[in-house]
Amino acid sequence: MLDYNEKPILIFWEATKACMLRCRHCRAEAILNPLPDELSTDEALGLIDMITRFEKPYPVLIITGGDPLMRKDLFEVIGYAADKDIPLGIAPAVTELLNDKTMDKLIEYNVKYISISLDGGMPDTHDVIRGVKGNFHMTIEVLKKLVKREFKVQVNTLACKETVNDLPYIVKILKDLDIDIWEVFFLIKVGRGIEVGDLTPKEYEDVNNFLYEVSRYGIEVRTVEAPFYRRIAKWRIEDEYDYNKLDVKYIMRKYRLGELYEELVKKLIGLLGYPQNPPKPHIPSTRDGKGIIFVSYNGDIYPSGFAPYRLGNIRIDDLVEVYRNNPILIRIKKGDFKGKCGKCEFKDLCGGSRARAYAEYRDILHEDPACTYIP
């Protein structure tokens, strides 16, 4: 097991701000052309060299953006990383750049993991969020091609007021396409995320309990900026009756859930039937700054892409040194938090969203205002 005090399991590199899409919730506030202070090719290769100083097994490098396919030197950088045996993933936008030729080239360069955003189970929902009419159908076709090429495909979905009612339909799409990893992003008011409607704390609890039900269908659910999913999963696994039977009324009574949970789960059962032989969900222990680190388009280092608390810059700072010895990251790894997150018995398993704490209080160590649990 990795020691997250010493090295992350995931390094996210925002290769560029450039992107052809204009998504309503875009953290990066992506634009059509790259910014002038974007890392040069030599600086990007230098980042790869820095990552090797974590020593093997190396963290997985996830190349994101913007749209990383907008970088003209992308495959030079990918090839350099592949030569050094750094495991690679990519999170491209669904545009004409993500074509058959590009997919084949990614395979050639040993990029095994690919994340694709699907923000609605219906065309209207997804296309409105993505800002391009027809993008839903294009995304479904891309997913089919990626699965056929045997990429390890992960679907990313934003959970917000505009998309929440589509979540069961997205699960149906995942099952139909034989995709078994679903990463659900919860809103942080950064970038263009201020344009999208957030859920209430009570709705967060409902949706995360719904996501636990999704895991019963053999889908590995991961949450971004809703680590309290892990608390919920732990509770639910430890209840033997609950674990073995999807009893909506029992669950609503025991966990004091509301109409949104009931509505989502009934839709899910209507689409997929009741789950059979549910597997135990995977419960990770990473959080922003613990097991995860983010390098921006210009080299700035942050705990995550949604927590714009600057820790340094790779142009002048060593990424390994920052990750291991930055005082704020040390406190994050220890769970040295304020408010109820600091008192919570789940602070190591969960720890709350550091990004949401920073967005709400301008204090990255404060409590997560979206969590309803009282320690």
Report the C-alpha gap between 314 and 296 in whole angstroms: 10
Per-residue pLDDT at 147 exceeds 50? yes
Q: How confident is the model at residue 194 (pLDDT cuts 50, 70, 90)?
A: low
118 and 135 Cβ atoms separated by less than 8 Å: no
Q: Tell me if 258 sits within 8 A of 206, measured CB to CB.
A: yes
Cα 219 → chain centroid: 15
Residue 142 contacts by C-beta under 8 Å, 6 or more apart in sequence?
94, 98, 116
Q: Residue 243: is its pLDDT beyond 60?
A: yes
CB 219 within 8 A of CB 171: yes
Cis peptide before 57 (omega within 30 of 0): yes
Record the tokens describing residue 365, joined without a space: 């160590």
pLDDT of 193: 46
Cis amide prior to 131 (ω within 30 degrees) = no
Q: Is the dihedral of CA 343, 347, 352, 357 positive or negative?
A: positive
Stretch 32-47: mean pLDDT, rounded? 93
Q: Which amino acid is located at 322 in the chain?
A: V
pLDDT band at 207 (very low <50, low <70, confident <90, very high): very high
pLDDT in tens, 293-322: 999 999 999 999 999 999 999 999 999 999
**Cα–Cα nearest to 113, from 73, 74, 86, 140:** 86
Question: Does the pLDDT value for residue 28 go beyond 70?
Answer: no
Give the predicted TM-score (pTM) of the model. 0.94
Provide the pLDDT for residue 20: 85
Give the whole-number percent of the chain exceeding pLDDT 90. Answer: 85
Contact by Cβ (8 Å): 50, 320: yes
Cβ atoms of 80 and 108 closer than 8 Å: no
In whole numbers, what is the pLDDT of the chain averaged over residues?
Answer: 93
- Topology of domain 10-272 in CATH is TIM Barrel (3.20.20)
Q: Give buried/exposed letters for 165-176 (b at 16+ CB in 10 A, else e).
A: bbbbbbbbbbbe
Range with the poorest average pLDDT among 24-28, 183-187, 325-329? 24-28
- Judge whether 210 and 267 are in contact, CB under 8 Å: no
pLDDT classification of 21: cutoffs 50, 70, 90: confident
- Is 135 strand, coil or helix? helix
Q: What is the pLDDT of residues 331-354, one digit of tens each?
A: 999 999 999 999 999 999 999 999
Q: Where are the domains of the chain?
A: 10-272
Residues across the chain: 375
Is the confidence at residue 172, as pLDDT, over 80? yes
pLDDT value, residue 92? 97
Q: How do residues 257-285 score in pLDDT, each as one tens digit?
A: 999 999 999 999 999 999 987 888 888 88
pLDDT tens sequence across 53-92: 998 999 999 999 999 999 999 999 999 999 999 999 999 9
pLDDT for residue 205 is more than 60: yes
Q: What percentage of the chain has pLDDT greater than the value 70? A: 96
**Do 306 and 300 form a contact (C-beta atoms < 8 A)?**
no
Give the Å distances, CA to CA, from 221 to 134, 180, 217: 27, 8, 10
